[in-house]
Structure 1
């Protein structure tokens, strides 16, 4: 009989996180298969697993394919109705699975869902990677209920609901296996960062719902593979954001939006210069040239889609940095459904 849920942890040199959080995951996930897919780690993660947790199922990937390629290869080998893609640096809580699966079972159009993501180092506040569900403005800047840029809200129960969102975080992503595979999975040209936003955008363009369930709570360390101060992370975030816009925006808006982003990325570079973060400046420059080099290939594999995903048609950059709106409920005209669409 096919298991209902497969919990899949993608690991790259994360043995220290497995040692810390895997016992907690196993304790609160009884009855569900737990997998660790290893992205060619060199820290003896797999031998440690086999010695200490033989009940955990494993997949060895011969090279580090990043988040996108690693999960694509792993999930092709796992048969389950639902996948939970779980970062190794997450602490789960009791009954973290059932509320989400129950919610997803209530509507077959729900393809993906995320729980409430709180900060492991500051449990009273939301975490950067997903918080209470992600959104994106028309210029491609992602933000969350509970977290806009560097401002994290305190969790006071304001997001204990179930809601439709623009994207669900890859840190703890519940997804129907058929929706994942039918949509083509993650785009491996992203390698890591923003591939889940791209996938959620494509899912919505196919008529699916992407959602959030506040009845489930997990705690995320964050930056387990790449810290936010690492220029490599800067490179991937800036390059992948441009790739995502090119792929998913309607042709009539694509180049106008990317032109705005070129200007705003230049402004962002100036901010890095003012703080002496020259490696990040060079990372942004390299990100743009890498994107430009990819345009011919991206154009070749372009597919015609029906544009459905609801962007926030204001600038979150303007509202945050100029108007001083640092909480989600302060944003102008934020109206997204919190009940199933008819």
Structure 2
């Protein structure tokens, strides 16, 4: 059977979010679409995985892939791709909810816009505010002088993420919480780079989409709710993880002079935060030390033993 959309999400000790997401997909997605829901469980604790399996494992649209190690965002999604059959890939965070037939809206847009490879929806928070649906790619000017100056001097006039866009609009980078890809375009650029464990995957991916000659669009007609922090929360360990990924991003996409300028600006900013932010000194020293990748959460885990299941693959 031809599959129109492969919904792909990651569960990590947050099955209550994943179950709610799946229920919203089943409720809102058009019956005229053939779709599958692929859940990659990134080595959750046994109780959380069992809860997930018992709640949604019986739905014919749902496949649960039990991972023995936490591969992070990029690695988890790429594992899901190995089991995906859709013409479109809908990567969505498990702490999101569909508020309407978002997948169908984005599919219809891409069906008629061959120059666009990926779209995102209007992603909102509990107060109805835009929840970082789109943003700008890092640059020397942005790091030193801010977003406004960067936009003014950029060769492409991408909108500010503070503006409420009311029509389909080309944007530079979209949030990893909601990425709707044409499968052939995603496959052509090699998918997510698994060198990134938790952060900066979307910046890297979107940069490669533009470099590949395709566009990225924000579609306000498609609506998603994003709670945020469903699997991670906020602590200094995760902040360090961000700077590890940010360093990898800068090293990958900028020349030597640009890297020096960006890292210098980052050091100045973080130095000021020593006096204003909790854990500011620890983060400053971490960045000064080069944000060493060996401190990544990727290397602070062991492979788990799991039992077989009728519902998982």
Partner of 1:188: 194
Partner of 1:230: 235
> In the aligned structure 2, how far is the partner of 1:292 from the partner of 1:38?
27
Shift of 1:38: 0.6
Q: Verify the 8 A CA contact 2:271 2:284 in the aligned structure 1.
A: no
Q: 1:9 to 1:282 in 2, by over 3 A?
A: same
> In the aligned structure 2, how far is the partner of 1:116 from the partner of 1:237?
24
Partner of 1:11: 11
For residue 84 of structure 1, give the secondary structure of its aligned residue in structure 2. strand
> In the aligned structure 1, how far is the partner of 2:127 from the partner of 2:93?
18
Q: 1:90 to 1:18 in 2, by over 3 A?
A: same
- Describe the superposition over 1:239-273 as per-residue Cα deviations: whole angstroms up to 9, x where unpaired: 22232222123xxxx22222222222222222331
Q: 1:180 to 1:288 in 2, by over 3 A?
A: farther
TM-score scaled by length of structure 2: 0.79
Decide which of 246, 250, 253 is 2:251's aligned counterpart.
246
For residue 269 of structure 1, give the secondary structure of its aligned residue in structure 2. helix
Shift of 1:45: 3.5
For residue 70 of structure 2, give the secondary structure of its aligned residue in structure 1. coil
TM-score scaled by length of structure 1: 0.73
Bigger relative CO (Cα 8 Å, ≥ 6 apart)? 2
**Matched pairs, number:** 275
Q: Verify the 8 A CA contact 1:162 1:214 in the aligned structure 2.
A: yes
Decide which of 155, 166, 169 is 1:160's aligned counterpart.
166
Q: 1:281 to 1:106 in 2, by over 3 A?
A: farther
> In the aligned structure 1, how far is the partner of 2:284 from the partner of 2:239?
7
> In the aligned structure 2, how far is the partner of 1:212 from the partner of 1:230?
30
Shift of 1:187: 1.4
Q: Verify the 8 A CA contact 1:85 1:173 in the aligned structure 2.
A: yes
Shift of 1:284: 4.8
> In the aligned structure 1, how far is the partner of 2:87 from the partner of 2:94?
22
Decide which of 28, 34, 38 is 2:37's aligned counterpart.
34
Matches within 5 A, 1:92-171: 92-119=98-125, 121-123=126-128, 125-127=129-131, 130-131=132-133, 133-139=134-140, 147=161, 158-171=164-177
For residue 108 of structure 1, give the secondary structure of its aligned residue in structure 2. coil
Shift of 1:182: 2.2
Matches within 5 A, 1:1-342: 1-29=1-29, 30=31, 31=33, 32-42=35-45, 44-53=47-56, 54-55=58-59, 56-119=62-125, 121-123=126-128, 125-127=129-131, 130-131=132-133, 133-139=134-140, 147=161, 158-227=164-233, 229-249=234-254, 254-278=255-279, 280-287=280-287, 289=289
Shift of 1:44: 2.8
> In the aligned structure 2, how far is the partner of 1:137 from the partner of 1:179?
23
Q: Verify the 8 A CA contact 1:26 1:34 in the aligned structure 2.
A: no
Shift of 1:70: 0.8
RMSD: 2.4
Structure 1 unaligned runs (5+)?
Answer: 295-342
Shift of 1:225: 2.4
Q: Verify the 8 A CA contact 1:84 1:174 in the aligned structure 2.
A: yes
> In the aligned structure 1, how far is the partner of 2:285 from the partner of 2:107?
42
> In the aligned structure 2, how far is the partner of 1:205 from the partner of 1:145?
19
- Describe the superposition over 1:8-66 as per-residue Cα deviations: whole angstroms up to 9, x where unpaired: 11111111212444322221124421121110110533322332221121111110000
> In the aligned structure 2, how far is the partner of 1:207 from the partner of 1:179?
10
Q: Verify the 8 A CA contact 1:13 1:43 in the aligned structure 2.
A: no
Structure 2 unaligned runs (5+)?
Answer: 148-157, 295-313
